[in-house]
Amino acid sequence: MILSEITLRRLSLPLKVPYKLAFGPVTAFDTILATVRGDGGEHGFGEATILTGYTPETVGGAWAKARELAAALRGLDAAAAKNAALAHHKAAPFTVTALVTAIEMAEGSPFLDVAEDTRVPLLAILNATDEAGIAEELERHRQADYGTVKVKVGFEWQTDAKRLKFIQGEVARMPAASLALRIDGNQGYSLDDALAFTRLLAPDHIELFEQPCHMDDWDAAKAVAEISPVPMMLDESIYGPAEIERAAQSGSARFVKLKLMKAGSLANLANQLTSIRELGMEPVLGNGVAADPGCWMEACIARTHIANAGEMNGFLKPHRGLFADPIRVERGAMILTPRRPALVDDAALDALAVETLRVVA
């Protein structure tokens, strides 16, 4: 397959509700959508939703790099194009992943082949911070058959601890084993604050505690893990095989979370998920800051590589999705179907785009 056309769109996707993170609320996704066409009519898409602070990339820098790569990849065969793009992976992981996964899809990647309708369980997000809102939202998630709920902390540790204690009390009043909680610090705590929070942490109903300190502070990760009454998970610290091995060797995590946008390719992601388990840890997968293409691709891999609730729920957050037929969610799970999804038409995509670039070989 020769790449005959590459289209890039820089989209701004407003969210239904601000997504509250320790480093600030997200009100819209800044998404680069890459679509490729082959000389035989092949077609694929991929995305990079840039969250500065999570990736070293900025929206402007990612857009410039995507334009540069599109010009360099046009006219190449698929293998050469993927190799050329992946040479830039360390500096621009999200941007490179958008282009490479689009090419993999156009090639007919077996990772995206779904033989029959398949449920991929998702976790739900707890957005409310007041007690009445928390109680209502937890009950709504339970009735929707979600089994896992993510709770964001990493703000002010005493307030976070008090809120978490209330949440645990609400879950305890539900029918047995209704909800498990994932606690996510999003790198928001200093080491002292993380240790203080962790000393007050009761394990009731908590599945894991994710990345309380800065991604580069491996000593802090180990220090918190050594006193934590619940399993720790690393997320932002992990960019590839080297960090996965370091997590295993350091004993700083029992869970490791990956995102497709950091992996560079579908093949890389599958290999890294396998490696996590081989090293004696448990893999978690999914991006809460991603649109339909990235979440769908992650779910396709999750069905064969993950044994817990997926975090690929970002597609539920924007007012408008990018698929012509919206992804189905039933009883707390994404429903994958044998038919590969199609993007909304070009006119609709162009209406969402801040900028558009088409490169033809």
What CATH number is associated with residue 134?
3.20.20.120
Tell me the C-alpha to C-alpha distance, in Å, between residue 196 and each of 76, 212, 228, 269, 276: 54, 11, 11, 35, 29
Quick one: CA torsion of 221, 227, 233, 235, rounded to 10 degrees?
-20
Q: Which pLDDT score, from 0 to 100, does residue 96 have?
A: 98
Q: Sheet containing 232-234: give its strands across.
A: 124-126, 148-152, 180-184, 206-210, 232-234, 255-258, 282-285
Q: Which two tokens stand for residue 230?
A: 């619940």
Examine the domain organization and report whether 47 and 196 are in the same domain: no
Q: Tell whether the model's pLDDT for residue 142 goes beyond 90.
A: yes
Examine the domain organization and report whether 270 and 144 are in the same domain: yes
Largest interatomic CA distance in the chain: 62
Q: Which two tokens stand for residue 135?
A: 């109680």
Q: Give the chain's length.
A: 361
Mean pLDDT, rounded, for 82-111: 97
Task: Give the residue numbers spanning the domain of 242.
Answer: 118-336
Q: What is the distance between the terminal CA atoms of the chain, rounded to a whole angstrom?
A: 13
Structurally, the chain folds into a number of domains equal to 2
Are 188 and 24 contacting, i.e. CB atoms less than 8 angstroms apart? no
Q: Tell whether the model's pLDDT for residue 318 goes beyond 90.
A: yes
Q: Which pLDDT score, from 0 to 100, does residue 359 have?
A: 93
Mean pLDDT, rounded, for 140-155: 96
Q: How confident is the model at residue 162 (pLDDT cuts 50, 70, 90)?
A: very high
Angle in degrees, 0-180, between the axes of helices 266-278 and 241-250, rounded to the nearest 10: 10
Examine the domain organization and report whether 317 and 234 are in the same domain: yes
Examine the domain organization and report whether 155 and 297 are in the same domain: yes
Examine the domain organization and report whether 163 and 48 are in the same domain: no
Q: What is the pLDDT of residues 15-74, one digit of tens each?
A: 998 887 776 788 999 999 999 999 999 999 999 999 877 788 999 999 999 999 999 999
Q: Which pLDDT score, from 0 to 100, does residue 316 have?
A: 95
Examine the domain organization and report whether 224 and 310 are in the same domain: yes
Q: How confident is the model at residue 177 (pLDDT cuts 50, 70, 90)?
A: confident
Q: Which pLDDT score, from 0 to 100, does residue 21 have?
A: 76
Mean pLDDT, rounded, for 318-327: 95
Examine the domain organization and report whether 278 and 182 are in the same domain: yes
Examine the domain organization and report whether 155 and 94 are in the same domain: no
Q: Which pLDDT score, from 0 to 100, does residue 176 have?
A: 80
Helices (H), 27-185: 59-73, 78-86, 93-107, 131-143, 157-172
- Distance between CA atoms of 104 and 268, rounded to whole angstroms? 12
DSSP 2: B
Examine the domain organization and report whether 58 and 98 are in the same domain: yes
Q: Which of 44-53, 117-126, 348-357 has the highest mean pLDDT?
A: 117-126
Q: How confident is the model at residue 361 (pLDDT cuts 50, 70, 90)?
A: confident
Q: Is 6 helix (H, G, I), strand (E, B) or coil?
A: strand
- Distance between CA atoms of 329 and 343, rounded to whole angstroms? 18
Per mean pLDDT, which range of 3-7, 24-28, 61-65, 351-355 is the poorest?
24-28
CATH code for position 89: 3.30.390.10
Examine the domain organization and report whether 249 and 166 are in the same domain: yes
Q: Facing residues of 206 across strands?
A: 181
Examine the domain organization and report whether 271 and 351 are in the same domain: no
The average confidence (pLDDT) of the chain is: 95
Q: Which pLDDT score, from 0 to 100, does residue 350 have?
A: 87
Q: What is the pLDDT of residues 218-231, one digit of tens each?
A: 999 999 999 999 99
Q: How confident is the model at residue 99 (pLDDT cuts 50, 70, 90)?
A: very high
Examine the domain organization and report whether 18 and 93 are in the same domain: yes
Q: Which pLDDT score, from 0 to 100, does residue 188 have?
A: 94
Angle in degrees, 0-180, between the axes of helices 266-278 and 93-107, rounded to the nearest 10: 110
